[in-house]
Amino acid sequence: MSPFDLSEKRIVVTGGAGHLGRHLCQGFLDAGADVVSLSSKSVPIAGVHSIVCDLAKPDELAEALGNHPIDGLVQCAARAPRHADLAMSGEAFLQGFETTVALYFSVMQAAIPRMPFGGAIVNVASMWGQVAPTRDIYLGMKIDPSFAGSAAAAAIAHLGKHMAAELAGKNIRVNTLIPGWFPRKSGPDNPAYMHEITSRVPMRRIGQPQELVGPATFLLSPAA
């Protein structure tokens, strides 16, 4: 058996209908996993159990998870706003920050009791939690990360470290994937913007969603 095999593993993916989530679901399915997507939209992938729900509502989350034991949780359902607005209120900042961080925490909190035999959690954050974006990259389109979004990305990474230490005794591993540029559109819509991005990347290209499948599969598998 391959150490990267996920056969007979039940893997839950939040945000499974999203840009990254769809490819992760397909990749885990290809690795033999029983894949469950929890998202605001249905996932059109044969073999994936797609459950449409609002993860921020505890009752809906609990019902979607059910009573089945799970072996892995992958979170990529961030909800942070866009654009760094210096005029935003403290209340708006806190709401944007809490929306994502509290969601990641509450889903982990709900999943942990459903991992009685141990397992793995993989949270997907962002490079903007590690380095600061500069507004000129975004050419005035107001799609730059918000202050709340970048702060949330940093918090998710550190929350993962704290959870890893806390859950080690339960045989649950917690890791965070921190992608660089993985924009939804790959170029023809705005070549000037794509040039701004790729000129800052040593390989002169953006990331493709399927490139996260390997690292995520490794972190979920016995190989990790």
Q: DSSP secondary structure string, 23-61?
A: HHHHHHHHTT-EEEEEESS----TT-EEEE--TTSHHHH
* pLDDT 10s digits, 66-93: 999 999 999 998 776 788 888 889 998 9
Give the span between the Cα atoms of 166 and 173, in whole angstroms: 10
* pLDDT 10s digits, 8-51: 999 999 999 999 999 999 999 999 999 999 999 999 999 999 99
Q: What are the Cα distances from residue 92, in Å, to 56, 85, 145, 149?
A: 18, 10, 14, 12
Helix (H) or strand (E) holding 124: strand 119-124
Mean pLDDT of 95-110: 93
pLDDT at position 188 over 70: no
Please state the separation of Cα 86 from the chain's center in Å.
Answer: 27
Helix (H) or strand (E) holding 119: strand 119-124
- Higher pLDDT pick, 99 / 59: 59
Structure tokens at 87: 């005029």
pLDDT at position 97 over 70: yes
Q: Determine the pLDDT at residue 174.
A: 98
